[in-house]
Amino acid sequence: MKKVNRYHHKKILVLGLAKSGVGAAALLHKLGAFVTVNDYKPLSENPEAQNLLEQGITVICGGHPMELLDEGFELIVKNPGIPYHNPMIKEATQRGIPILTEVELAYQISEAPFVAITGTNGKTTTTTLLADILEAGDKAPLIAGNIGTVASVVAEEASAKNTIVIELSSFQLMGIDEFKPKISILTNLYDAHLDYHGTREEYVAAKANITRNQTESDYFIVNSDQDEVMKVATQSKASIIPFSTKRVLDKGAYVENGWICFNGEKIMETKDIVLPGAHNLENILSSVIAAKLLGVHNEAIYMVLNRFAGVKHRLQYIGEVKERRFYNDSKATNILATQNALAAFDAPIVLLAGGLDRGNDFDELIPALNKVKAIVTFGQTAPKIEDIAKRSGIKMIQRVDNVEKAVPEAFQLSEPGDVILLSPACASWDQYKTFEVRGDIFIAAVHKLK
């Protein structure tokens, strides 16, 4: 860990806990800051806050009192999930108090370079896949961010021999200042989190922060099949390395005659790739570029892509029951992710879908339902999804209370050779704390069938 003196004896407010808040508070305390933690959850129900209190950190729980800002804080490190229209954040901004997310602290103390990955879809798969390839190539990767250990904790442990591979959300990227990855990846851009950002323009601007501080000696890997992504690339000072699943490129990664290629070099044949789904080619191509930039040999890339079957909750193969194949795609929290999942299969599909109603219109899903023979719905959006199912000509439509009940119902509607797919197209929060909880319940229900 680098020695950082900038926070010594500085008054800092950590707003909102969860893992990132705990990590930030503990790190700032080590760096000699006068830390105050403020979390909405009452102290009696807040073991993380109790632990910080035992470390000698000031803790205020049970609400966000506005008068807290009168204590002269020189910095706020906020939980990424707290929006900027939060009254306390708005007031702090008006007072000129800098606001960061924990990722910025991690960058400031890290001896290891960062490979940072963002985008609407594909972040988790790309992060996991690239880390696996770097591991096979003896590059000592450490995974951080949304799918791994909190970035500041990883950065404390990392040495210059490591490479930190980090998945970053738009929420996290809004709170950076100096953060500068050696390699950044923008997988794609679609509508998402507009309830947080307000407009698509604000959302895209947040994603673009991943390359904001990069220079000519850094690399920005971009999806050249999307004009909006390429527009972001024009704002970057980094060396732009594109990828495309649709055409051959003069520079970058692409598919040609059944081969994954990089800068004209054949890496491996696509028939040897295990990961299902045409959309995953984007994740594969961006991972190949980053791996090649970091000096990984083709043999290591081949070895990983020949066995990598995906990450948990993202088109995860669970197993077969009486000739029906079960897939867990609980991380499909938006329409596009479900469209991609449905496109990955040629067999008839029984789809399990539903969840939190964010006011979305599901009409965009209709063209993707051509292989769906039956739908089992649950959650707030069940009526909307049933409506598009009927308009798509799907005859077998059943509503159930939850995912656990959806699995046996889907099995009853299926036949040997079918795919039974949980791909909700919605967030989980109407019934489940996280999409991981939703996916785990699906997995348990499948095993119960066995």
Annotated binding site for ATP: 119-125
| Distant-in-sequence, close-in-space partners of 190: CB < 8 Å, separation ≥ 6 | 120, 121, 334, 336
126's tokens: 């790309």
CB under 8 Å, gap of 24 or more: what pairs does 58-63 form?
A: 58/34, 60/36
| Distant-in-sequence, close-in-space partners of 234: CB < 8 Å, separation ≥ 6 | none
Exposed/middle/buried for residue 340 (C-beta within 10 Å: 0-12, 13-18, 19+): buried
Cα torsion angle, 38, 39, 44, 48, sign: negative
Distance CA 256, CA 265 (A): 11
Give kind and range of the element (H or E) at residue 384: helix 382-391
- Read off the amino acid at residue 432: Y
- Read off the amino acid at residue 150: V
Cα torsion angle, 12, 16, 22, 24, sign: negative
75-78 sheet: strands from edge to edge: 58-61, 34-39, 11-15, 75-78, 99-100
Distance CA 343, CA 412 (A): 23
Distance CA 328, CA 337 (A): 12
Residue corresponding to tokens 């527009």: 231
> Residues 38, 68: contact at Cβ < 8 Å?
yes
Residue 399 CA neighbour count, 13 Å, CB half: 13
Distance CA 259, CA 245 (A): 11
Residues making up the binding site: 119-125
